[in-house]
Chains A and B, each alone.
Chain A
Amino acid sequence: MTFDEIYNITLMQGFAGLSLFAVLLLMGLGLAIIFGQMGVINMAHGEFMTIGAYTIFLFSSLTESLAPGLIQVYFPVAIVCAFLIAFTFGWLAEWALIRHLYRRPLDTLLATWGLSLGMQQLFRSTFGPKEVSPTLPDWLMGSWAPTEGLDIPINGMFVLGLTIFVTGCVLLALYKSRWGLRVRATVANRTMANATGINTTRTDRLTFAIGCGVAGVAGAAFTTIGSTGPTSGSLYIVDAFLVVTFGGAASLWGTVVSAFGIAQTQSISEFFLSGSNAKVLTLLMIVTILMLRPQGLFAAKVRR
C-alpha cells in the first residue's frame, strides 16, 4: 500500500466520520432544543423526522407527475416545507398533549411514546408499509473525485453543509434573537421570567414547535442518504437522546461536541471491528462515561 492510498483512505474514513457527525448532530439538534432547553422527553422525535422525510417524498412524486421540468429545483422548497409541516404538527402536539404534562416528565415520556405509535400507524396507513425514497435531483447524486482514488459522496457533503447551516441558525436564534432570550430566561427561572412579562406558555409552544421543525429538516436531509419507512423514526430516537444527554442536556455546544465525538469513535472503530461490535463499543463508552459524569460533557449552570 502506497502512501497516497493510505492518505486517501484516511481522508475518506475521516469524511465518513464527518457525515455520521452531521447525521447525529441533525438528529440531536431538535431534541437539544426540546429536551435540553425545555426538559420535555419527546419520544416522538423520530416520528417528526419521518414527517420531514415523507414531505420530501410527497414533493418529489408531485413534481414528477405535475411538473417534471422542476425536478432539479424542488428540493430546497421541499426542505422549507418539511420544516413548516413538522413545525405545525409540533405546535398541535404541544397544545393537545405536552402542555398538560410539564410537571410530570416521566409521564410525558409515556404519552409521547403513545403519540409516536399513533404516528407510525398513520404513516403506514397513508404511505403504505414499504420503504420509499424520493427521486433526487441530479446534482445530489454521484461523488466528487478531486484526485485519483479519492471519492467523496455529494449527498454526504450536502448533509454536512445543511447541518452546519441549521446549527448556525439555531445557535444564532438561541443566543442573538428575542425568542432565544425568552427561551433562556424561561429555562433559567420560569417564575421570574413570567414575572418580567415573558409569556412562558407561548414561549414553550414556540420552542417545542421549532424543535420539531428542526427534526423535520433532519428527516428531509436523511432522504438523500437512505429510504424512509413508517418506523424509520424509532431507529434514530435512542441515538438522538444519547447525543443530547452525553453532551450535557442544556448546552447546545455540548451537543455539537458529543455528536462529533460519538461519530468519530464509531466510524474509527467500524474500521477495525464489525459494524455491530463498533456500535456496542460506542454505546458502552457513552454509558460508562455517563455513569462517571452524569451531567454530561458540558454541564450548564442552571438552577434546578
Chain B
Amino acid sequence: MNAIKNWVTRGGYASFVILALILLVAFPLLMDIFRLNLVGKYLTYGFVAIGLVMLWGYGGVLSLGQGVFFGLGGYAMAMFLKLEASDPESTAIQSTPGIPDFMDWNQLTELPMWWLPFKSLPLTLIAVIAVPTLLAFIISYAMFKRRVGGVYFAIITQAVALILTVLIIGQQGFTGGVNGMTDLKTLMGWDIRDDSSKYILYFVNVGLLLDAILLCRWIQLSKLGTLLLAMRDKEDRVRFSGYDVSMFKVFAFCLAAALSAVGGAMFTLQVGFMSPSFVGIVPSIEMVIFAAIGGRMSLVGAVYGTLLVNFGKTYFSESFPDLWLFLMSALFIGVVMGFPNGLAGLYESHIKPRLMRRKPDAPEAAPAASTELHSSVATSPTAPADIGLSGKVSSQSA
C-alpha cells in the first residue's frame, strides 16, 4: 500500500489516477451508451492532443497538420473495415461484386493494388502506425535537417493537410471522396455497432489513451524529455553541446504522428465512418486548441481540454449555433493572451496553492511531500514535479 502511495506522490501520478478513475469508472456509470460513445469519440482526439503536448509543449514545434496523421490512421482502419463490409455476397447487386461500393459507382472494375494489404488485419494494424509515422519522418527529416522550424514548419504542415484533403476528395474512386468511407459494420465478423461492442471499444480506447499518457510521461521524465525541453528553450546551446537537435525533433514529430494515428483508428472503430472533414486544416487547428486549452505542458490537462472543448462544441452547436464560433474565437484569443499554459496552468497557479494551504491537519504528509519535491528538483532540474503541469521549472522561459 505504501509503495503505491509513494509511486503516486513521487512521480506526480495523482492527477493521472484521478483521470483514470473518471474515465474508467465515473463516465461508464453515469452515462448511457450513446453519451459514452460520444465521449469515446472525443477521447480519440485526446491522442492527438497529448501528441501535441509532446511536440509543441515539450519540443516547441507547432504542427498544424495533425489531422493528416489522424486521418491516415483512420483511413487505414476504415479501408480494412470497408473491404470486410463489401464481400461478394453483400455487394452482389453491384456490377463488380466484391469491391467497395464507391469504387463500383466510379466505374472501377477491380481493387487497386495498394488496397490489397488492407485485406489482412495484422498488415492493417501495422499500416495504421507505420504509414503516418513514415510520412511524418520524411516531412520532418527534410525540414529539420535544414533547420526549418517554427512558423515555416507550421505553414508546410498546413500545406500537407491541404494536399491530402484535395487528394482524398479528388480521387473519389479510390477513397470515397467527400463522403468518405461509410457503412462500416464488422471487425473480423464482430459487429462494431451494437451496444456491447461500443462498451468494449470505449474501454479499449481509454486503455490505449492511458497507456499513451504513461508512455509520454516516461519519455518526459527520461533524459530525452529533458533534452526536448532544453531544445525548446535554447536550441543552439543544445546543438553546441554536441547533440543532433534535428533528430530529437524528428522523434517528437513521429511520436505525435503515431499517437494521432492510433486516435484516428479508434475514431473509425467507434464512429463507424471516416471522411476528409477530419483531415483538413480546420480540424487540425481545432486539435491544437484542445491541447492549448488543457495546457500545452500537461498530458492530463490536454485530455481534459479535449473533453471540455468537445462537450462545449456539442452543447453550443446544438442549443446556440450562432454563439459557438464566437465562443471558440474567444477561447482561442483568451487562452493565448490570458493563460498560455491553459487549464493546467490555472490549476497550478491558483487552485493548487490553496489546496496546499488548507491541509494543516496533515502535518506529516505536507513536509514529506515538499521535501520529496525539492529532492526531485535538485537531482534533475527540469523534471516536472507533477504530471498535472510541469509549471515551476519548465513554464515559459521563452
Residue numbers of A with Cβ under 8 A of B are: 39, 41, 97, 100-101, 104-107, 109-111, 113-115, 117-118, 120-121, 124-125, 234, 238, 241-242, 245, 274-277, 279-280, 283-284, 286-287, 290-292, 294
- B147's nearest neighbour on chain A, judged by CB, is A294
Q: Are A114 and B331 in contact (CB under 8 A)?
A: yes
Q: Are A121 and B337 in contact (CB under 8 A)?
A: no
Q: Which 7 A-B pairs have the closest CB atoms?
A: A114-B332, A276-B170, A118-B329, A121-B325, A294-B148, A291-B142, A117-B329
Grouping DSSP codes into helix (H, G, I), strand (E, B) and loop, the A interface class, with mixed when no group exceeds half, is helix
The smallest beta-carbon distance between B189 and chain A, in angstroms, is: 37
Enumerate chain B residues within 8 angstroms of A117, measured Cβ to Cβ. Answer: 325, 328-329, 332
The smallest beta-carbon distance between A131 and chain B, in angstroms, is: 18
Grouping DSSP codes into helix (H, G, I), strand (E, B) and loop, the B interface class, with mixed when no group exceeds half, is helix
The smallest beta-carbon distance between B232 and chain A, in angstroms, is: 11
Interface check B351, CB cutoff 8 A: no
Task: State the CA gap A17–B42 with chains docked (Å).
Answer: 44
Contact pattern, B 159-175, Cβ under 8 Å of A = 1, otherwise 0:
11011001101110000
Q: Which of B316-355 contact A (CB under 8 A)?
A: 322, 325-326, 328-333, 335-337, 340
The smallest beta-carbon distance between A281 and chain B, in angstroms, is: 10
- A283's nearest neighbour on chain B, judged by CB, is B163
The smallest beta-carbon distance between B121 and chain A, in angstroms, is: 30
Q: Are A114 and B163 in contact (CB under 8 A)?
A: no
Residue among A107, A110, A276 with max Cβ neighbours from chain B (10 Å): A110
Contact pattern, B 134-157, Cβ under 8 Å of A = 1, otherwise 0:
000001001100111011101110
Enumerate chain B residues within 8 angstroms of A287, measured Cβ to Cβ. Answer: 156, 159-160, 163
Task: State the CA gap A145–B159 with chains docked (Å).
Answer: 38
Q: Are B328 and A105 in contact (CB under 8 A)?
A: no
Q: Are B170 and A242 in contact (CB under 8 A)?
A: no
Contact pattern, B 112-147, Cβ under 8 Å of A = 1, otherwise 0:
000000000000000000000000000100110011
Task: State the CA gap A110–B159 with chains docked (Å).
Answer: 17
The smallest beta-carbon distance between A98 and chain B, in angstroms, is: 11
Enumerate chain B residues within 8 angstroms of A274, measured Cβ to Cβ. Answer: 170
Interface check B208, CB cutoff 8 A: no
Q: Are B285 and A242 in contact (CB under 8 A)?
A: no
Size of B's binding interface in residues, CB under 8 A: 44
Residue numbers of B with Cβ under 8 A of A are: 62, 64, 139, 142-143, 146-148, 150-152, 154-156, 158-160, 162-163, 166-167, 169-171, 281-282, 285, 288-289, 292, 322, 325-326, 328-333, 335-337, 340, 398
- A293's nearest neighbour on chain B, judged by CB, is B146
Enumerate chain A residues within 8 angstroms of B335, measured Cβ to Cβ. Answer: 110
Q: Are B329 and A242 in contact (CB under 8 A)?
A: no
Enumerate chain B residues within 8 angstroms of A277, measured Cβ to Cβ. Answer: 170
- A286's nearest neighbour on chain B, judged by CB, is B159
- B157's nearest neighbour on chain A, judged by CB, is A287
Q: Are A280 and B167 in contact (CB under 8 A)?
A: yes
Task: State the CA gap A253–B150 with chains docked (Å).
Answer: 24
Q: Are B159 and A238 in contact (CB under 8 A)?
A: yes
Task: State the CA gap A106–B340 with chains docked (Å).
Answer: 11
Residue among A39, A41, A114, A118 with max Cβ neighbours from chain B (10 Å): A114
Enumerate chain A residues within 8 angstroms of B155, measured Cβ to Cβ. Answer: 41, 241-242, 245
Task: State the CA gap A106–B152 with chains docked (Å).
Answer: 10
Q: Are B337 and A118 in contact (CB under 8 A)?
A: no
Enumerate chain A residues within 8 angstroms of B170, measured Cβ to Cβ. Answer: 274-277, 279-280
Q: Are A238 and B329 in contact (CB under 8 A)?
A: no
Q: Are A283 and B288 in contact (CB under 8 A)?
A: no
Residue among A101, A238, A279, A286 with max Cβ neighbours from chain B (10 Å): A238
Q: Are B325 and A291 in contact (CB under 8 A)?
A: no
The answer, among A41, A106, A118, A234, for a CB contact under 8 Å with B282, is A234
The answer, among A100, A125, A280, A283, for a CB contact under 8 Å with B337, is A100
The answer, among A110, A111, A279, for a CB contact under 8 Å with B166, is A279
Q: Are A113 and B166 in contact (CB under 8 A)?
A: no
- B333's nearest neighbour on chain A, judged by CB, is A114
Contacts A110-B285, A121-B326, A279-B166 known; 18 new A-B pairs at CB < 8 A = A101-B337, A109-B62, A109-B64, A111-B336, A111-B337, A113-B285, A113-B332, A120-B325, A124-B325, A238-B162, A245-B155, A276-B167, A287-B156, A290-B152, A291-B142, A291-B146, A291-B148, A294-B143
The smallest beta-carbon distance between A272 and chain B, in angstroms, is: 15
Task: State the CA gap A292–B171 with chains docked (Å).
Answer: 28
Q: Are A110 and B146 in contact (CB under 8 A)?
A: no
Q: Are B332 and A110 in contact (CB under 8 A)?
A: yes
Task: State the CA gap A205–B223 with chains docked (Å).
Answer: 44
A-B contact pairs, 15 of them (CB 8 A): A106-B151, A109-B62, A110-B288, A110-B335, A113-B285, A114-B329, A115-B332, A117-B328, A234-B281, A238-B158, A276-B167, A276-B169, A279-B170, A286-B159, A294-B147
Q: Are B325 and A107 in contact (CB under 8 A)?
A: no
Enumerate chain A residues within 8 angstroms of B328, measured Cβ to Cβ. Answer: 114, 117
Q: Are A291 and B143 in contact (CB under 8 A)?
A: yes
- Take A117-B329, A283-B163, A287-B159 as given contacts and tell me if A97 and B143 are in contact as well, using a CB distance cutoff of 8 Å: no
